[in-house]
């Protein structure tokens, strides 16, 4: 499986920080370059198609404006016969999230979480409490505390714990990972 990272419009160093914070192996990542507009679904899809020889199954990890292009590309990729394990949107406020694959939403504060959920909250969600700066959720998920929400329960955790749990669920991390409690 490949994790496709579709950042927002920000310095690439913030995405590097995310990768380091989550201790992701770069050999399993495909990262949208900053030269491609992340909000352009066609451009994101073209990038995926150009790199399709590296892809068997995709897990989308998108942030901010990148959620716009990534959800379009995910739906188009799937319609072309591509396999999508899951779609994780970080601060994709105002972006309707729907698809025939598991969807998860993370938000930098409760208002963003609540209002974005009107457009689809997904299987599980996370919101920061107390709220944090928009970019902090992407750059430093290990410092962001909040709530993991499902239909049946709500638990306190960090954004990185929530993300790592999802990556483990979709076989990106070993099931016995000591990163997750």
pLDDT in tens, 135-155: 999 999 999 999 999 888 899
With 50 as the cut, is the pLDDT of residue 180 above it? Answer: no
At 179 the pLDDT is 46
Averaged pLDDT for residues 73-78: 97
At 175 the pLDDT is 52
End-to-end CA distance of the chain: 23
Where residue 171 falls among pLDDT bands split at 50, 70, 90?
A: confident
Question: Can you tell me whether residue 72 is helix, strand or coil?
Answer: helix
Give the separation between CA 132 and CA 77, rounded to whole angstroms: 33
- Enter the pTM of the model: 0.92
Averaged pLDDT for residues 110-129: 84
Q: Which residues contact 11 (CB under 8 A, 6 or more apart)?
A: none
Averaged pLDDT for residues 78-106: 93
With 90 as the cut, is the pLDDT of residue 181 above it? Answer: no
At 54 the pLDDT is 73
- Per-chain mean pLDDT for the chain: 91
Averaged pLDDT for residues 46-50: 96
At 16 the pLDDT is 97
At 53 the pLDDT is 83
Q: Which residues contact 68 (CB under 8 A, 6 or more apart)?
A: 38, 39, 41, 92, 95
Q: Which residue has the higher pLDDT, 156 or 175?
A: 156
Averaged pLDDT for residues 82-91: 95
At 178 the pLDDT is 46
With 70 as the cut, is the pLDDT of residue 174 above it? Answer: no
Q: Which residues contact 147 (CB under 8 A, 6 or more apart)?
A: 126, 127, 129, 154, 155, 156, 157
Averaged pLDDT for residues 20-40: 95
């Amino acid at each position: 499986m490949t994790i496709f990272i579709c950042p927002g419009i920000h310095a690439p160093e913030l995405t590097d920080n995310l990768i380091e914070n989550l201790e992701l192996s770069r050999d399993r990542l495909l990262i949208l370059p900053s030269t491609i507009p992340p909000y352009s679904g066609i451009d994101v899809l073209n990038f995926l198609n150009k790199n399709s020889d590296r892809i068997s199954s995709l897990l989308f990890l998108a942030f901010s404006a990148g959620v716009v292009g990534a959800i379009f590309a995910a739906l188009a990729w799937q319609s072309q016969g591509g396999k999508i394990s899951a779609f994780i949107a970080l601060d994709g406020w105002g972006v309707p999230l729907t698809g025939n694959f598991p969807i998860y939403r993370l938000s930098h504060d409760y208002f963003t979480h609540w209002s974005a959920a009107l457009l689809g909250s997904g299987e599980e969600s996370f919101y920061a409490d107390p709220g944090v700066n928009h970019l902090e959720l992407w750059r430093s998920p290990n410092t962001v505390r909040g709530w993991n929400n499902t239909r049946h329960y709500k638990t306190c955790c960090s954004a990185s714990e929530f993300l790592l749990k999802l990556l483990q669920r979709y076989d990106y991390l070993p099931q016995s990972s000591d990163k997750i409690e």
